[in-house]
Structures are given as C-alpha cells and as structure tokens.
Amino acid sequence: MGRFDGILLCSDLDGTLLDRSYAVSDENIEAIRYFQREGGLFTFVTGRMPYFAAHVYQRVEPNAPFGCINGGGIYDHRTGRYLWRRELPEEALTLAKETSKAFPEVGLQVNTFDRIYFCKESPVMEGFRKATGVPNCPRPLEEIDEPMAKIVFGEHDPAVMTRLQIFLTEHPAAKEFDFIHSEQMLYEMLPKGVSKGILIQKMAELLGIDPRRTVAVGDYYNDIPMLREAALGVAVANACPAARAEADAVTVSNEEHAIAAVIRDLESGKLSLY
C-alpha cells in the first residue's frame, strides 16, 4: 500500500507547475516521482494543445493521460491519441469572422486538434509565438477545414479586450459557446460546456478514481472550474484573486516548487481530502 494510493493530482501548467522561465524545477520532478512511487496518479490539465505540451510531459512523465485545450480533450501521450475530445461547431467560424471585422486590431488564432493556425497577425500573436516557440502557420479563416478545438483572440489593450468580451458574450450566437480568459491578453471561444472542471470528472471516471480523491492545483480564471470540481482545490500564491477565493487552500508560488509543496502537505496531513 502506497501513501498516495487512489489519489489523482492534476496541475495546471503555466503559472503553476511551470516557473516564469516555462521550466519544471528539479524539486517538483523529485516530488512527483515520489508521489507516483507511492501509488499516486499525477497529470496536468492545461489550455495548451498536446504538441505544445510535449516538452513538459517528456520531462514530467505523468502516469495518467492529461487534460488539454482548457477542457476540450483528454490526451494519452503514451499512445499519441485523444481518449476524448469536444469540437467547436462550424458556426464558430462565422462568429469569429464577425468579431474579426468588428475588431480589426485584435489578433486571431484557430486551434485544431493537431496545430495552431494564425489567422490574423498582431503584437500579441507575435509575442505568443516568441514565448512559446509555436511555429508561425498563417491561414485565412475561410481556409480552415479541420475540426476545431478552440478559437483564441489576443489583444494588449484592456479596454479593447473588455469591449471584445462584451461583443462576444452578448452576441446572439453566444449561447452556443463558452468563453474564458486563459491569460490576461488571450480570450478563448470553446465548445459549450467545456471546462477544466469537466475534465476532472471525465479523467476520474476514465481512471476509476473516486471523485473524493481528486486534487487540483491552479492559478488563473480558467482553472477555477477544476478548483471547484476537485475534492481539494489548491491555488498557488501567485494565483489571481478569483482563483484564490475559490480554492480550498493556498500553497506557495510557482517559483517556490508549488507541486512539491502540495505533495509534502498531503503526506503530512496539512492538506486533507476529508
């Protein structure tokens, strides 16, 4: 019997497991290995596409499939296959075109389940590629002919971003989609009912885990659904105020090996599932 038998620990990546240089610390890796040896299942739930997270799962070696696309898919990195996914309806392209026309300064990318297409260039999209290393693959919206996972709008100016959010959420077609801030400058259109919280449910069901034995760690607005859904939701110290308010507990920051701290506190009983 291991100390962490039957526990599913799910971490967000950016701002949580990853430090400011987008790296996973040795301290976190060592703690994750210990957690796994003692019977725990460790994985992550991220807004990233699977190929965009490849360097992370190659280093971390999660022992369970991981959640991706802010709730849009569950991906088995060991087989290179989606175990579950939700697609945007084609009507999303119509709304994206209208939004792009109304906000010509706002950048736009379409994420299919295999790649990212940059449909409108902007400083935010350029910065996104520079920070993440994603290749520039330009393609007009009219030429997107693959199943879509999400559509992402990018804008530096908070005032423009606020108007964009109002335009999208008050549009007559808005009821067909969900919207979420994944970063301050990125606003995403997702299939209706998709969230990281849904993935906690789906992953527990898929893995045969008691929902009362699930732990989620995150830092931003898109993490709030999984902090609510997990039996124990933990926000990192650098989390946005809304995420900290929804969490059951707050741990150290992502710069202080937050996942190692959570595992240590689970073992000591400082953090409890019951």
179 touches 165 (CB < 8 A): yes
Task: Label residue 62 by pLDDT band (50, 70, 90).
Answer: very high
Instruction: Give the Cα separation of 221 and 54 in Å (integer).
Output: 23
Task: Label residue 102 by pLDDT band (50, 70, 90).
Answer: very high
CA distances from 187 to 65, 96, 109, 161, 166 (A): 26, 12, 11, 8, 12
Model pLDDT for residues 109-125, shown as the tens digit of each residue: 999 998 999 999 999 99
Task: Label residue 146 by pLDDT band (50, 70, 90).
Answer: very high
User: What does the pLDDT read at residue 52?
Assistant: 86
Strands, sheet with 73-76, edge to edge from the N-terminal-most edge strand: 66-68, 73-76, 81-85
The CATH number of domain 8-85+195-268 is 3.40.50.1100: no
* Tokens found for residue 148: 């879509």
Strand partners, 67: 45, 74
Alpha helices in the chain (DSSP H): 26-37, 54-60, 91-102, 123-132, 158-169, 196-207, 224-229, 241-246, 258-268
Verdict on whether the full-model pTM lies above 0.85: yes
Mean model confidence pLDDT for the chain: 95
Instruction: Give the Cα separation of 239 and 223 in Å (integer).
Output: 10
What CATH architecture is 91-191?
2-Layer Sandwich (3.30)
Residue 244, Ramachandran bin (φ over 0: left; ψ between -120 and 50: alpha; else beta): alpha
* Tokens found for residue 262: 């959570």
* 91-191 and 8-85+195-268 share a CATH fold: no
User: What does the pLDDT read at residue 250?
Assistant: 98
Alpha helices in 40-182 (DSSP H): 54-60, 91-102, 123-132, 158-169
Domain boundaries, the chain: 8-85+195-268, 91-191
Instruction: Work out the average pLDDT over 8-30.
Output: 96
How many of the other CB atoms lie within 10 Å of CB of 121?
A: 15
Model pLDDT for residues 149-196, shown as the tens digit of each residue: 999 999 999 999 999 999 999 999 999 999 998 888 999 999 999 999
User: What does the pLDDT read at residue 260?
Assistant: 98
Percent of the chain scored above 70 by pLDDT?
Answer: 100
Residue 200, classed as helix, strand or coil, is helix
- Indicate whether 78 pLDDT > 90: yes
User: What does the pLDDT read at residue 206?
Assistant: 94
User: What does the pLDDT read at residue 182?
Assistant: 86
